[in-house]
């Protein structure tokens, strides 16, 4: 999750493939000779499962025809041959599966570059950092290989997780001084809500014993003193982290966005979103204007910079694959980091906190929250709200209720993201105000066992109650929150369907989605969340030819191997943007 969230986890880029079609042949050719798909020609896909995602159960047409970037025909192979015309390209799927392009309910496009470039501090199975010594060694090795040219003079690593480290604690300045005493060092937490810096880093950031905790943040101290120990929470950390993932120059910014876009395409994204944009909106808009985006990116502007909401980029339509989708509001922090704001205490308070600790709000004054929500409703801006703890969700619902009374609530599709610790009674309010629940079931694997310790085994079973929301008639989506996790939507499907923790415990079996529902949550339901269902989300005649080729059909395999399904090709408006 994240407040001004951004960061976490290096992932070695999968090779960005060529832009010609797969195993293909023109209709005039009898052999298997490969032929590049060309603009203006129709392209016919056949020879594998084609899953349209229309309706309440899987539909499998024999063939699909693409022309001029859109889906031209879906149906029988014989009719597809006629519809495609006399001179068309044929693509034999050879038993692979074609599904609509993936639409993540919530991610951070601009930060994917940091995930691709900085040191990987993830624990197994996504990395090799299972102890503090591992973390120190990984950062040393990264620095030796990369220097600091890509990281604005810092040694940077992303994704450490105290919940699974052998020592079960945060990195401190003393640990990171072992990486370097002369160069500032920063390690970001997997939640995106914390970072740890070394002594030199504290000096560069100007944080001393005299520094006061900022509103909505905490500077952790050495026990028995006011000296900072190197651990920064929430708004004591996030502004500093943001500066290191928002490169100041166009060239460096381009390098990060090039890397992030390739990474997203390799996981089947045809539509991505920047979940909390600030000044980096200008960099993304410039990148789009220069024609460098080849997938759609919708940005969510942080409430602190509302001036961007009054630019040409605020639109339901994309310009050069970019648009502003709406306003972003963040009301609390991370449940696994224990800064999510709850109505009941954590069973295990974090370091420096006393018994009875419940987390804390990002914006303590309800009147301030009300002004922001009122502004969104008054201007008909779609609103995306980060809430994890039930106290933060109460704060959101109170503000939405009042704004709806003032300005009406017709088809606004306000989005609640995360909602890990939402109460069942709060789901009824989501339904009442037509709030989309974009949940994060990936937590069941990564932190399910940790939740048993910090909130109790019973409540841990109730995290991310996506099935209960669906049963109540609430619009739902799933998300990766990348770079909090890798932008791997097959892993999202696996966790949403299985809800199995690292230890093998099933976390809330009644909250499992079926594979078909899980696939809907990252295709058509994702499109609906962003008001894009008229053009995306299903393989339907007239919609954009945004498609993904998978090596297996996720609806026909053992659910426990969903995470092992591999994206073979990603197609945006009829053009291949990634090929394995």
- How would DSSP label each residue in 126-187? T-S--SHHHHHHHHHHHHHHHTTTTTTTSEEEEEE-TTTSTT-S---HHHHTTT-SSS-EEE
Side-chain half-sphere CA neighbours of 75 within 13 A: 10
Helices (H), 294-365: none
CB-based burial label for 251 (10 Å; 0-12, 13-18, 19+): exposed
- Give residue-wise pLDDT tens across range 11-53: 232 222 333 333 333 333 323 322 334 457 999 999 999 999 9
Identify the bridge partners of residue 314 per DSSP, sorted by sequence position: 324
Q: What is the pLDDT of residue 15?
A: 29
Q: Domain ranges in the chain?
A: 24-93, 109-245
The whole-angstrom separation of Cα 471 and Cα 431 is 10
For residue 393, the model assigns a pLDDT of 98
Which of the residue ranges 265-274, 344-353, 541-550 would you say has the lowest mean pLDDT? 344-353
Output the CA–CA distances (angstroms, integers) from residue 277 to 1, 247, 284, 388, 490, in the order listed. Answer: 15, 14, 9, 20, 26
Q: Would you report the helix, strand and coil content of the chain in percent, each value rounded to 5? A: 30, 20, 50
Give the three-class secondary structure for 71: strand
CA distance 494 to 496: 6
Are the C-beta atoms of 327 and 376 separated by less than 8 Å?
yes
* 334 in Cβ contact with 282 (< 8 Å): no
**How far is 36 from 286, CA to CA, in rounded Å?**
31
Q: For a pLDDT cut of 70, what percent of the chain falls above it?
A: 93
Question: Is residue 292 predicted with pLDDT exceeding 60?
Answer: yes
For residues 545 and 217, what is the distance between their CA atoms, to the nearest angstrom? 45
Confidence of residue 505 (pLDDT cuts 50, 70, 90): very high
Work out the angle at residue 86's Cα, subtended by the Cα atoms of residues 81 and 87, and round it to the nearest 5 degrees.
105
pLDDT of residue 25: 35
Helix (H, G, I), strand (E, B) or coil at 436: strand
Contact 567, 1 (CB under 8 A): no
Per DSSP, which regions of 339-483 are E strands?
A: 383-387, 415-418, 436-439, 476-478
Q: In the predicted model, is pLDDT for residue 436 greater than 80?
A: yes
| pLDDT of amino acid 537 | 98
CA 412 from centre of chain = 22
With H, G, I as helix, E, B as strand and everything else as coil, classify residue 306: helix
Statement: residue 10 has pLDDT above 50: no
Q: Work out the pLDDT band at 186, boundaries 50, 70, 90.
A: very high
Of 266, 230, 220, 296, residue with least CA distance to 16: 266
The Cα 447–Cα 334 span in angstroms is 12
Per mean pLDDT, which range of 15-19, 403-407, 545-549 is the poorest? Answer: 15-19
Q: What's the CA gap between 351 and 357, in Å, rounded?
A: 11
Q: What was the pLDDT predicted at 192? A: 78
Provide the edge-to-edge strand list for the sheet that holds 269-277. Answer: 102-103, 269-277, 296-302, 322-330, 383-387, 415-418, 436-439, 476-478
Q: Residue 485 phi/psi, 5° resolution?
A: -125, 170
**CATH code of domain 109-245:** 3.10.310.70
| Element counts in the chain: helices (H) and strands (E) | 18, 24
Give the DSSP H/E element, type plus range, for residue 535.
none
Burial class (CB in 10 A: 0-12, 13-18, 19+), 554: buried
pLDDT of residue 478 exceeding 70? yes
Considering the chain, what is the average pLDDT of its residues?
Answer: 91
More confident residue, 32 or 363: 363
> How confident is the model at residue 39, as a pLDDT?
52
Q: 174 Cβ partners below 8 Å, 6+ apart?
A: 229, 230
Domain pair 24-93 / 109-245, same fold: no
What average pLDDT does this structure show over 62-73? 98
How far apart CA 27 and CA 14 sit, in angstroms, is 32
Tell me, which fold does domain 24-93 have in CATH?
Answer: Urease, subunit C; domain 1 (2.30.40)
Whether the CB-CB separation of 267 and 567 falls below 8 Å is answered with yes
pLDDT > 90 in the chain, percent: 81
Distance of CA 175 to CAs 136, 158, 169, 387, 397, Å?
A: 7, 15, 11, 32, 42
Sign of the Cα torsion 148, 149, 154, 157 reads negative
What is the spatial distance between Cα 67 and Cα 72, in angstroms, rounded to a whole number? 6
Rounded CA-CA distance 112/134 in Å is 23
Residue 493 makes CB contacts below 8 A (sequence gap 6+) with 478, 515, 518, 519, 522, 554, 562, 563, 565
For residue 290, the SS3 value is: coil
Predicted local distance difference test score (pLDDT) of residue 124 = 81
Among 319, 314, 265, 326, which residue's Cα sits nearest to residue 287? 319
Phi-psi region of 314 (alpha: psi -120 to 50; beta: other; left: phi over 0): beta
Q: Which helix (H) or strand (E) holds 260?
A: helix 250-266
């Amino acid at each position: 999750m994240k407040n001004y969230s951004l960061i976490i986890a290096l992932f070695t880029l999968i090779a960005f493939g060529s832009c010609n079609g797969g195993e293909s042949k023109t209709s005039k050719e009898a052999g298997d000779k490969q032929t590049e798909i060309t603009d203006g020609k129709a392209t016919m896909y056949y020879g594998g499962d084609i899953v349209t995602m229309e309706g309440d159960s899987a539909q499998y047409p024999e063939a699909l025809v693409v022309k001029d970037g859109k889906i031209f025909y879906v149906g029988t192979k014989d009719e597809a041959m006629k519809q495609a015309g006399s001179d068309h390209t044929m693509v034999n799927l050879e038993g692979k599966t074609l599904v609509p392009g993936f639409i993540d309910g919530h991610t951070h496009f601009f930060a994917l570059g940091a995930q691709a470039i900085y040191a990987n501090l993830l624990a197994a199975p996504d990395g090799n950092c299972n102890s503090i010594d591992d973390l120190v060694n990984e950062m040393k090795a990264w620095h030796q290989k990369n220097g600091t040219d890509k990281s604005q003079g810092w040694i940077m690593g992303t994704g450490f997780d105290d919940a699974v480290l052998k020592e079960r604690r945060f990195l401190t300045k003393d640990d990171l001084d072992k990486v370097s005493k002369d160069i500032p060092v920063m390690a970001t937490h997997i939640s995106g809500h914390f970072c740890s810096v070394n002594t030199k880093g504290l000096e560069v950031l100007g944080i001393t014993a005299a520094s006061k905790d900022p509103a909505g943040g905490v500077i952790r101290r050495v026990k028995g003193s006011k000296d900072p120990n190197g651990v920064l929470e929430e708004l004591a950390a996030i502004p500093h982290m943001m500066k290191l993932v928002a490169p100041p120059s166009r060239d460096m910014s381009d390098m990060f966005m090039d890397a992030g876009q390739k990474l997203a395409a390799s996981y089947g994204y045809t539509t991505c979103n920047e979940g909390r944009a600030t000044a980096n909106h200008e960099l993304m808009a410039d990148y789009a204007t220069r024609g460098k985006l080849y997938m759609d990116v919708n940005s969510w502007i942080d409430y602190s910079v509302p001036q961007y909401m009054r630019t040409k980029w605020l639109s339901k339509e994309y310009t050069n694959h970019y648009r502003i989708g709406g306003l972003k509001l963040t009301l609390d922090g991370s449940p696994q980091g224990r800064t999510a704001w709850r109505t009941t205490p954590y069973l295990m308070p974090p370091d420096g906190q006393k018994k009875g600790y419940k987390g804390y709000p990002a914006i303590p004054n309800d009147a301030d929250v009300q002004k922001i929500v009122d502004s969104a409703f008054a201007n008909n801006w779609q609103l995306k709200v980060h809430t994890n703890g039930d106290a933060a969700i109460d704060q959101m619902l109170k503000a939405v209720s009042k704004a709806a009374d003032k300005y009406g609530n017709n088809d606004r599709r306000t989005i609640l993201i995360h909602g890990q610790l939402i109460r069942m009674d709060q789901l009824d309010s989501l339904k009442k105000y037509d709030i989309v629940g974009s949940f994060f079931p990936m937590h069941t694997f990564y932190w399910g066992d940790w939740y048993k310790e910090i909130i109790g085994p019973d409540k841990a079973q109730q995290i991310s109650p996506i099935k209960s929301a669906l049963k109540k008639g609430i619009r739902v989506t799933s998300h990766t929150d990348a770079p909090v996790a890798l932008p791997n939507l097959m892993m999202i499907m696996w966790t949403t369907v299985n809800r199995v923790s690292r230890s093998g415990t099933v976390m809330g079996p009644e909250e499992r989605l079926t594979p078909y529902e899980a696939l809907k949550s990252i295709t058509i339901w994702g499109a609906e969340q962003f008001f894009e269902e008229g053009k995306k989300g299903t393989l339907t005649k007239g919609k954009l030819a945004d498609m993904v080729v998978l090596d297996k059909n996720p609806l026909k395999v053992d659910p426990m191997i969903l995470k092992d399904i591999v994206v073979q090709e990603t197609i945006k408006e009829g053009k291949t943007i990634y090929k394995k």
